[in-house]
Chain A
Amino acid sequence: MRTLDTSLSEILSLPGVLGAALVDAVTGLTYGAVGEWEGTGGGIELSDLTGLLAERLNQAGATGELESVIITSRRRHHVTQVVERRGDAVLLTTVLDRERTNLALAMRQIAERAGEVLA
């Protein structure tokens, strides 16, 4: 059977991706991680951050759900994609090398991969 480790390693093979992790959106539990991804803090900080953003968006009247959170720094991009599923959502978070990445293209690729990460 396909494993989470294999699934995340496939994302690691995308150009410019330095690390990836799958995190529970509610509990912050890190289900799996590959490469260098600790730069985003741990899974708990990540789920707290996206939980807070989703809540505030909702209170501000946004009708749709939170889709992704992008953090850019001088050397890295951190792209966190919400993966909706039956049951509690999970977060697919990736750390990208800014020098080697076109953010718009990377976001599209990651969103595509997010659909298959649990398969």
Chain B
Amino acid sequence: MTDAGPPPPSRNVSGLLRRLRDREFTGAVVVSGAPGGTIHLRAGRVTAIDTPGSPPVESLLLKSGRIDEEAWSAARATAGPSDPVGVTLVEHGLVGAVELEVVCAAAVHDAAFALALTAPGGWDVAESALPPQVTAGPGVEPQALSQETGRRLTLLPRLWGSATELVRGRVHAPALASDPLPPRYREILRFVNGRRTVRDLAFALGRGVFPVLLDLSRMRARHLVTVELPTSTSPLGDGLGPRTDVGGAPPPPLPLGFPLPRRTPGGHLPDRGR
């Protein structure tokens, strides 16, 4: 840290991150809202983001089968403050150092995407936050991170539809595919059961939400899957996000004479796909 004073107010989280990068801030930015999360910074670079909106590094490593649960628990037990989990995993030969760096960078980008799907309720700079569980590599430049997040958010409407709605949509597989399919598509179909949302699938597979959405959009083009968007007729959303779309104007009020009850975020956890 090079500056002790509080950071100046920022118009949005990415603006704040850019300012904190200039100050080489080490600590965290806590974003409230749904899903909300904690952005960890080291010398202003984003080393990790904890959010319930996207699978954490732990899921990416365990669910994908890179590391088994037992080895993970053993690494956590031996890890200490001076010897974080990431270093232990590499030292035990459970994952390559470069591979872990790549997984961490992918997780940061995916979490930033998940956070950006809904407008944050607010944000706070925390100088002393609990350090992230796993980090590796130098971290991601905030400027590059917001550029990539912006690209992802504008890409999906061009390919398919609103990312905010799609991640909460339930995925169906209308018919058994007879064509030979790439292994990634077969793996996704193994977890599609009509109840899991796109986000649930990402957690179950141990893959990022954005890459799963990209695969689903290609699978949809081949009529392998359909996604049932969350609407007022299906009241059982996965409960992570508010129902209004980000950026767009709120829908006009219904002519009822009284306001409809509003869902409040929190209190619901996504089905992690047991």
Chain B residues closer than 8 Å to A118, beta-carbon distance: 96, 98-99, 102
Task: Check B103 for interface membership: any CB of A closer than 8 A.
Answer: yes
Residues of B within 8 A of A29 (CB): 105-106, 109, 148
**A1, B87: Cβ atoms under 8 Å?**
yes
Give the contact-size bracket for chain B.
35 or more
CA A1 – CA B98 in complex, angstroms? 8
Q: Are B99 and A119 in contact (CB under 8 A)?
A: yes
Check A87–B181 contact: CB distance below 8 A: no
Q: Is A38 part of the contact surface with B, judged by Cβ < 8 Å?
A: no
Contact between chains at A86 and B66 (CB < 8 Å): yes
Contacts of A31 in B (CB 8 A): 101-102, 105-106
Inter-chain contact A26/B214, CB cutoff 8 Å: yes
Bitwise, B38-78 to A at CB < 8 A (1) or not (0) is 00000000000000000000001000111000000000000
What interface size band does chain A fall in?
Answer: 20 to 34
Q: Establish whether residues B106 and A7, one from each chain, have CB atoms under 8 Å apart when the complex forms.
A: no
Whether A95 sits at the interface, judged by CB under 8 Å, is: no
Contacts between the two chains (Cβ within 8 Å), count? 78
Q: Which residues of B contact A18 (CB under 8 A)?
A: none
Which B residue sits closest to A89, measured CB to CB?
Answer: B184
Q: How far is the CA of A81 from the CA of B208 in the complex (A)?
A: 22
Return the chain B residue nearest A44 by Cβ: B151
Q: Judge if B97 is at the interface, Cβ distance under 8 Å.
A: yes
Task: Please give the distance in Å from B42's CB to the nearest CB on chain A.
Answer: 15
Spot the interface stretch: A58-66, A68-76, A101-109: A58-66
Question: Are B97 and A90 within 8 A (Cβ)?
Answer: no
Contacts of B203 in A (CB 8 A): none
Asked whether B206 is an interface residue with its Cβ less than 8 Å from the other chain, the reply is yes
Q: Is B127 an interface residue (CB 8 A)?
A: no
User: In this assembly, does B255 line the interface, its C-beta being within 8 Å of a C-beta of chain A?
Assistant: no
**Hey, which chain B residues are within 8 Å of A88, CB to CB?**
106, 184, 207-208, 211
Q: Is the CB of A117 within 8 A of B105?
A: no
Q: How far apart are the CA atoms of A22 and B211 in the complex, in Å?
A: 17
| A59–B211 CB distance below 8 A | no
Q: Does B15 contact A (CB under 8 A)?
A: no
Dominant secondary structure at the A interface: loop
In the assembled complex, the Cα of A44 lies from the Cα of B211 at a distance in Å of: 13
For window 147-169 of chain B, which residues contact chain A by CB distance below 8 Å? 148, 151-152
Rounded to whole angstroms, the CA-CA distance of A3 and B102 in the bound complex is 10
The residue in chain B whose Cβ has the minimal distance to the Cβ of A57 is: B182
A3 and B99 contact, Cβ closer than 8 Å, known pairs A54-B182, A87-B206, A87-B207? no
- Tell which of B98, B151, B181 touches A58, judged by Cβ atoms closer than 8 Å: B181
- Assembly CA distance A3 to B90 (angstroms): 12
In the complex, given contacts A27-B152, A58-B181, A61-B180, what are 20 additional A-B residue pairs having Cβ atoms less than 8 angstroms apart?
A1-B97, A2-B97, A2-B98, A3-B98, A3-B101, A4-B102, A4-B137, A24-B106, A24-B211, A26-B214, A26-B215, A27-B211, A27-B214, A29-B148, A85-B66, A85-B99, A86-B64, A87-B60, A87-B66, A118-B96
18 cross-chain CB contacts under 8 A: A2-B96, A4-B137, A7-B98, A26-B184, A27-B210, A29-B148, A31-B105, A44-B151, A55-B182, A58-B180, A58-B181, A65-B183, A85-B99, A86-B64, A86-B65, A87-B60, A88-B211, A119-B97
